[in-house]
Chains A and B, each alone.
Chain A
Amino acid sequence: MKGINILTFATLISCLLLGVSCNKDFLDKNPPNSVSGEIFWTSQQDVETALAGVYYRLQQNFLGYERVYMEVWTDNAFADPGNTNQPNLGQMAIGGLSPGLGGALVNLYETPYRLIASANYFLDNVDKAALEEQVVNVYKAEIRFLRALAYFDLVQSFGGVVVYRNFLSELEDARIPKSSEEEVYAFIHEDLDFAIEHLPSELYKGHAVKGSAQGIKARVYMTQQNWSAARILLEEIISDNTFSLADSYDDLFTSDGQTKSSVSREIMFATQYLAPNSVHRRGTGGLDMELGWFALIQPYRNLVDDYEMKDGKRPEESAHYRAEKPYENRDPRLYATVKLPDQEWVNPITGETGELYNSYTGFHTKKWVDLRRIPFVTATAAQSDQDYIHLRYADILLMYAEVVNELDGPVDAVYKKLDLVRGRTGVDLPETDRAKYGTKDKLRDYIRHERRIEFALEGHRYNDLKRWRIAHTLLPTVKTPSGVSYVFKEHNYRLPFSITELDNNPQLEQNEGYR
């Protein structure tokens, strides 16, 4: 009996163990929620999915809505020290710019490369799907446009950088020397030329179009101070008549406004978002909260004071100015851009008032903040999905004005384009005082002023100040609310590569002034 017991148990256990151990797949486990790279690239749908993946890269850091934060490196806005989304943001303005700095400085470098890696992966593999050449060329053109945008960002920030034309299969291939600034620009133009050739000439609806590529190419030329080449492209866009100014300045910066065709016709390229699953920042964040509640960037009085009166005159010259109510009767764009100290956030639909953190400067950012989302509690404001606009038609007009003034001086075409922007529906400023701004230099300053006002708190001014080469004279005059001066020296026109990056890529040479 006992013997049988042992035997029975022995047999049972042996069977059991044999049964489990002979399962050959026991150690083969695969992730249930991602796609194997081996079987991808077989259909047009795969291609479109990968394409969306590259566009998705636009949503991160300074390629997306957070580009607005680049204003804090200018005389436009102060960075609240509580901004932990982009650490060291404020530090970079007041002399903290050093290779040891992490946070925002590293994000400026790495985010474009994340897009570039995705773009290269796409371009290297898309032919596997064997689509018609015409079809595939449009896809490639979109991706090459995005890649150019990313390299343009890098070259503006760092000058010459490492250029990869392909997706890397070996880690060591990433550790190469940087190309010169000229080589980077040449590569950007190469991509943009392909994009201009193959992208459809139509209104922008989320996918890059020919106008997007032409406009960015013009901006690249202007950064290179190649006025005549820029002029040709800008004239092409203007004469093409595809794009036109929005009929509401305010609506350009809200989700609802951006869906109106009378507004979206001005937008030439944007980083797009869509609530609730593709918002600025999942959880706690997004422009409504970060600007409308946390006050992460706070406009300087200097910016507010720069707005003209509604009659187009400087405050000191205008009959509308009253010292006790200094901000009344201003250029309407002020009220779309800045929340003044005596104003309250009020939801235009429900009448509810909003809560917000204090501003050191006393001013808050209004542009991008959607008052219809008040109260700005985490639950509702995390729905922020305003598209961040990289390029809009007003920019084309002001770029054109600038280019023509540089080439031909104060000619009629310059004033006309300026007046188009200043006289746009809802802004309705009178025409430019041609007598007052009658020389090339005066007009140049005035165009620059107009750019500051039109694009205030949109993230363009930092690169504008740099390409005008006035950052090193203008910025040291700016002081933070606690009285610390901005620092911008000659070598700061290029940012430093981080120590970590130099360690990771020993071939990379540090920019001058940071060694």
Chain B
Amino acid sequence: MVISTKRWVFYAVCAAAWCFASPVARAVGTPIAQTQDVIHLSGQVLSSEGGPVAGATIHYGGAEASADQNGRFTMQLATAGNVVFSAIGHTSKTLRVTQDTVLTVVLDTDESQLEEIVVVGYGVQRRSNVSGSLATVDGKTLTERPVPNAANMLQGRIPGLQVTQPSGEPGRDNPSLLIRGRGTFGGSINPLVLIDGIAGDLNALSPDDIENITVLKDASSAAIYGSRAANGVILVTTKSGKAGATTVSYRVNVGRHTPTDLPDFITNSAEYMEMYNQAAERSGIEFRFKPEWINAYRNATDREQYPNFDAVDYYINPATTHNHNLSISGGGEKNTFNLSLGYLDQKAMIKGYDFKRYNALLNYTNELSDYVKVGTVVNATYRDRREPPFTGENMALAIYASGPLYGPFLPDGSGRVVSRAYQQEGRNRNPQEYYAMGNQLTRDYRVNAQAFVDVKPFKDLVWTTKIALNYEDQFYKMHQVPYDAYLSQEMDPQTGDYKHSTFGPDVLGVTDQYSKALTPTIYSVLNYNTQFGTDHNFSALGGYEQVSYSIQSLRGRRISSVYPDLTDLGGYLPSGESLYFNHPRLPGLITPSEWALQSVFGRIGYNYKEKYFIESNLRYDGTSKVSPEYRWGVFPSFSGAWIASKEDFVQEVLPWASQLKLRASYGILGNQDVGTYLYQNNLDIRDVYYSFDNEELTSGAVVNVFRDQSLRWESTSIFNVGFDFTLKNRLLEVNFDWFNKTAYNILAQQPVPGSLGLGKPTTNDGKMRNKGIELALAHYNQIGEVSYSINGMISTARNELLHIRVPEYGSRIKEIGQPYDAHYLYVWDGIFQEEDVLPGANVPAHELNPNPRAGDLKMKDINGDGVVNSEDRVVVDGAYPNYMYSFGLHVGYKNFNLSAFFQGVEGLKNRVEKWGIDPFEQGTSPTTEWRNAWTPENRSNELPGIYVAGYPGVNAYKASTYYLRDASYLRLKNVMLSYEVPAHWLQSAKLKGAQVYVSADNVFTITDYKGADPERSSTSGNFAQYPQAKIFNIGANIRF
């Protein structure tokens, strides 16, 4: 640690403390007036349901009293005045008392959660005291959507949090989480996820183990996490036990997954072949289907030999998922515990997959004495995922590419796999070949074990120390065997049998990879809360934390075995074995690396009469990722809030408002999540070889990247203003936030002249802004026996690049003033008609298709210079959604509960191509709309003349709006009907409670995006994707 910086921080903390301390001191000095007259007040506090409110608080001036178990109270007042009755879960009531009185005070039940305790960084706060911008969602709401992955449940639940589930593929459905827009272009864009205070993986959790989730969105709430907080922070609290009788609860859920939307391919073989022949002629491809072949298919009676095969229908089918969770929780006077076990068995809509997840959670606390509490949280996950050698898009595109001419097996019933029908037709591997090739498996063990000690040396001070260890162990295996496949329509003249033809396995043999990652964390925090006088509430927090991380891995491969069915490396021959073999089919090689982070941090908060709030956070972080001179950074934040509704004058104007709070905050956060050794000047020797004699390799060393040693943090400043407003009885709740988030000194690979001959250095250069609003509305009411609520939220984040050293222009643009990575495309302008290609036609020359033919794609000459060239590309909206929204409805009637939840994204556009878009891409059948393709007779301006993918008249303009699809959607994300079984039915079964429910996910979708799900996060640009799922669930919760 550099001394001068340390001192600087000390000054800053002192200064901050002084700012807070001086008004406090002055206020404390004010004497409280005394008089002799005494008014006697007594009575009972009742809730609106009629029962007593135990422990209700009665405030009068500086005095305070509490009601007893029966809600009864007595107190003496010095003078006539306003008395405030309040209790957790109720709206407070103010009565003017002028003489001795016996009162019955009825407090309305208040569900506005103002008094709710919310989790904040290194502690908890009452929601009413929060001056930053954060949002919470409880575990119960999350599990309404019984999707397998906990992270996906957050979708649409938090304003400003964009959750995009990539697909419905088991074990590969981890969503991308983005808080308030894309904040950087160099570092990671992922929020920091902390599970019980320790960095962890939300995807690995069992949804049933989540008590609640808090999302810290602005700088004031996140700054306590300093250099890791720029993308926002997600705090997950797992379920702990509560004192009282031991409860055993069991939840079971069975889900049926069916694909949401799939392409509508032509499956008539004769039609397919005829269309292909047209397309091949246009594309100049030699191979054609012969007329006799086409006739054979058209007139066939033997549909085994001459099928009209629908591969999508055959390979993609509904699948069932089981989820079980058992938890035992409870506690005595001194200790509480929660033990929870979860099991998920997810089958896939495409066969060959099997995903299982086992979760265990132990949460235990023990009060050793009045002053010392110890506890532990152990969260363990084991995931076992088996898959075909090709997954995701690759699996889907093979299904698309297989076309209608052949099925999985030869028609002779031998069970032999078909490769394709004809030798020369375009193709990928037949999906059945994937199953013949072998499989891969991934076993993933994670343990997050933590132990903590809370010490209370004296009143108002808590000293918490936590030691945690995150351990991730992954085992991966690819196993591929030689296999045979045959042409279904061609015979080998020598053997008279079907002709042998196969691309064969691509990573033959056994490839194993072991990897281990270890993240020990230690933090220690002092938390002090006190009250000076009656009106001055003061809180302070100070702490130290250190985190380190290391990962190591080993990959080995052996190719040949006498018994290739064996799956262990030991069963294989050592000849040709290799270490660290890399291949696109395999997961990326893990490079061993380490990093460490060391920090001190603090928070000071003050409020006056719980009406005016100010708070400041500060974190001082040091990281191994930058050079020692620049290692330490300061991340401060300030915030203030005013609960206006507590002012008398506001109460007079807005008597129907139960809460109006105005908030503002500003602060600076950091992002350190780029590579590990970016500042270090080294010669790379890994995989650098040259053979001078064609016999042995000589190791080489090269400098690959230009290094900037003065690398430092990426910083993000966030300015946030907002308000929270609640009508009495929660008839209306409004939460509004406006934010301006600017990332600067962005850590990014800066473009350098290609002539430098070295890779791009990572430097601090770049500035990007996201501005947006978040609005959440809710309405709660009860009409007779029907209680209901409606809520909705909408959020926007407008991205703008403010500085980039060198703009980049491809099909996406990185230019100042534009959204980062906005679409940058030629503008599609219909189809070349025959008169357009005549000599002298008034049509701009197309640089990328200089001799267009009728039926080719036509582009707009934007600048009107008579030539369509790279100058004519324009920025097209749609790289980011215009807004995201969701709305829902809850209705409760007697024991029934119905909830429906819609979610949507507006303005997002995806550029997608190949399988399913371009006809005959590797043999992919055209979709049925290609029946309306351009022909000289059908002068369509919608679709070009049918072609074989790669045809330059279309292919040349892949970077055009022709390939852009509107991926906006609105979908009924979830609907759920549950029934609480009446208690008297359960008594004989000795059950404490039972609930049964049915629910459905992704029920229907309104979108222009056809043939696949609009929700996806592909980076390949391929249209093909593993399908998203509609899920129909049935389940029960039973408490013993």
Q: How far is the CA of A293 from the CA of B429 in the complex (A)?
A: 13
Interface residues of A in 1-34 (CB under 8 A from B): 1-2, 5-6, 9-10, 13, 16-17, 20-21, 26-34
Residues in A with CB closer than 8 Å to B453 are: 9, 13
Residues of A89-140 contacting chain B, CB below 8 A:
90-91, 94-96, 98-102, 106, 109-110, 113-118, 121
B546's partner among A20, A379, A503 (CB-CB below 8 A) is: A20
Residues of chain A contacted by B753 (CB below 8 angstroms)? 162, 174-175, 501, 504-505, 508
Q: What residues on B are CB-neighbors of A49 within 8 Å?
A: 685, 698-701
Q: Which residue of B lies closest to A379 (CB)?
A: B508
Interchain CB contact under 8 A, B757 and A29 = no
User: B544: shortest Cβ distance to chain A, in Å?
Assistant: 6
Residues of the A chain whose Cβ atoms lie less than 8 Å from the Cβ of B524: 13, 17
How far is the CB of A392 from the nearest CB of chain B, in Å?
Answer: 16
Against A, the Cβ 8 Å flags (1 = close, 0 = not) of B550-593 are 00000000010000000000000000101000111100000111
Max chain B C-beta neighbours (<10 A), residue from A46, A207, A355, A482: A482
Task: Confirm or deny: A185 has a beta carbon within 8 angstroms of a beta carbon on chain B.
Answer: no
Chain B min CB distance to A61 (Å)? 12
Query: Is B370 within 8 A of A174, CB to CB?
Result: no
Please indicate the chain B residues that have their CB under 8 angstroms from the CB of A28 in the complex. Answer: 624, 628
Residue of chain B at shortest CB distance from A114: B757
Stretch from A356-364, A397-405, A425-433 contacting the other chain:
A356-364
B116 at the A interface (CB under 8 A): no
By a CB distance below 8 angstroms, the chain A residues around B592 are 32-33
Q: Does A82 contact B (CB under 8 A)?
A: yes
Output the residue of B426, B504, B753 with the most chain A CB within 10 A: B753
Q: Which of B502, B682, B697, B751 contacts A37 (CB 8 A)?
A: B682
- Decide yes or no whether A329 CB sits under 8 A from chain B: no
Closest chain A CB from B273 CB (angstroms): 15
- Asked if residues B506 and A91 are in contact (CB atoms below 8 Å), the reply is no
Neighbouring A residues of B30 by C-beta, 8 Å? none
Which one of B10-18, B169-177, B258-266, B687-695 is at the A interface? B687-695
Stretch at the interface among A192-200, A278-286, A308-316, A455-463: A278-286
* Cβ-defined contact, A5 with B369, below 8 A: yes
With an 8 A cutoff between CB atoms, is B91 at the interface?
no
Cβ contacts under 8 Å, A58 to chain B? 690
Complexed CA–CA distance, A206 and B690 (Å): 9
Q: Is the CB of B956 within 8 A of A52?
A: no
- Chain B residues within 8 Å of chain A by Cβ, number: 111
Chain B CB within 8 A of A252 CB: no
Contact with A along B827-869 (1 / 0, CB 8 A): 0000000000000000000011111010000000000000001
Q: Does B371 contact A (CB under 8 A)?
A: yes
A206 CA / B689 CA spacing, docked (Å): 13
A27's partner among B631, B694, B953 (CB-CB below 8 A) is B631
Please pick, from B544, B559, B623, the residue contacting A21 in the complex, using a CB distance under 8 A. B544
B507 near A379 with CB under 8 A, answer yes
**In the complex, what's the smallest C-beta–C-beta distance from B126 to chain A, in angstroms?**
27
**A501 and B950 contacting across the interface, CB-CB below 8 Å:** no
**Docked CA distance A274–B505 (Å):** 22
Is B809 a contact of A274 with CB atoms below 8 Å?
no
Residue interface bits B738-761, CB-to-A below 8 A is 1, else 0: 000000000000011111111001
Residue of B nearest to A50 (CB): B701
B702 adjacent to chain A (CB < 8 Å): yes
Instruction: Find residues 510-560 in chain B having any chain A CB closer than 8 Å to their own CB.
Output: 522, 524, 544, 546, 548, 559
Interchain CB contact under 8 A, B506 and A284 = yes
> Is B680 a contact of A31 with CB atoms below 8 Å?
yes
Q: Is A375 in contact with chain B by the CB < 8 A criterion?
A: yes
Contact assessment for A482 and B283 in the assembled complex, using a CB-CB cutoff below 8 Å: yes
- Pairwise interchain contact B754-A504, C-beta atoms closer than 8 A: yes
Q: Is the beta-carbon distance between B504 and A91 smaller than 8 angstroms?
A: no
Interface residues of B in 358-379 (CB under 8 A from A): 368-372
Asked if B706 is at the interface (CB within 8 A of a chain A CB), the reply is yes
Interchain CA distance A26-B632 in the complex, whole Å: 13
Which residue on chain A has the smallest CB distance to residue B576? A276
Q: Are A98 and B870 in contact (CB under 8 A)?
A: yes
A115: chain B residues within 8 A (beta carbon): 757
- Residues on B with C-beta less than 8 A from A168 are 756
What is the minimal beta-carbon distance from A476 to any residue of chain B, in angstroms? 11
Contacting B at CB under 8 A, from A178-192, are none
Is the beta-carbon distance between B283 and A360 smaller than 8 angstroms? yes
Q: A113-B754, A207-B692 are in contact. Are A483 and B503 (CB under 8 A)?
A: no
State whether the Cβ of B55 lies closer than 8 Å to any Cβ in chain A: no
Tell whether A63 is near chain B: CB-to-CB under 8 Å: no
Q: Is the CB of A96 within 8 A of B956?
A: yes
Residues of B924-956 contacting chain A, CB below 8 A: 949-953, 955-956
The answer, yes or no, to whether A510 is at the interface (CB within 8 Å) is no
Q: Which residues in B have their C-beta under 8 angstroms from that of A113?
A: 754-757
Q: Is the CB of A52 within 8 A of B690?
A: yes
Answer whether residue A212 sits at the interface, using C-beta atoms and an 8 A cutoff. Answer: no
B682-735 contacts to A, CB under 8 A, are 682-703, 706
* Interface residue? B807 (CB, 8 A): yes
In the complex, the answer to whether A52 meets B698 with C-beta atoms within 8 Å is yes
Given the known interface contacts A56-B702, A205-B693, A284-B583, the answer about A118 and B869 at a Cβ–Cβ threshold of 8 Å is no
Whole-angstrom distance between the Cβ of A8 and the nearest chain B Cβ: 9
Contact of B578 among A277, A355, A485 (CB under 8 A): A277
Given the interface contacts A32-B592, A377-B504, does A503 sit within 8 Å of B807 by beta carbon? yes
Q: How far is the CB of B721 from chain A (nearest CB, A)?
A: 37
A33-B591, A484-B851 given as contacts; is B806 within 8 A of A500 (CB)? yes
Q: Which residues on A sit within 8 Å (CB–CB) of B648?
A: none
B681 adjacent to chain A (CB < 8 Å):
yes
- Write the nearest CB–CB distance from A41 to chain B, whole angstroms: 10
A29 touches B284 (CB 8 A): no
Residues on A with beta carbons closer than 8 Å to the beta carbon of B584: 283-284
Q: Which of A201-219 contact B (CB under 8 A)?
A: 205-207
Q: How far is the CB of B286 from chain A (nearest CB, A)?
A: 4
- Contact check, A161 vs B755: say whether CB atoms are below 8 A apart: yes
Residues of B within 8 Å of A437, CB to CB, are none
Q: What would be 12 A-B contacts, judged by CB atoms less than 8 Å apart?
A: A16-B465, A21-B546, A34-B683, A50-B683, A50-B702, A96-B847, A100-B869, A117-B757, A378-B583, A482-B951, A483-B853, A484-B851
A-B pairs, 7 with minimum CB distance: A117-B757, A100-B870, A206-B692, A377-B504, A481-B284, A81-B950, A378-B506
Q: Identify the B interface with A (CB < 8 A).
A: 282-287, 368-372, 424, 426, 453, 455, 457, 463, 465, 467, 480, 500-509, 522, 524, 544, 546, 548, 559, 576, 578, 582-585, 591-598, 622-624, 628, 631, 676-677, 680-703, 706, 751-758, 761, 806-810, 847-851, 853, 869-870, 949-953, 955-956
* A contact set with B: CB distance below 8 Å: 1-2, 5-6, 9-10, 13, 16-17, 20-21, 26-38, 40, 46, 48-59, 80-82, 90-91, 94-96, 98-102, 106, 109-110, 113-118, 121, 161-162, 164, 168, 171, 174-175, 205-207, 255, 258-259, 272-274, 276-278, 282-284, 293, 341, 353, 355, 357-362, 375, 377-380, 382, 385, 387, 480-485, 487, 498-501, 503-505, 508
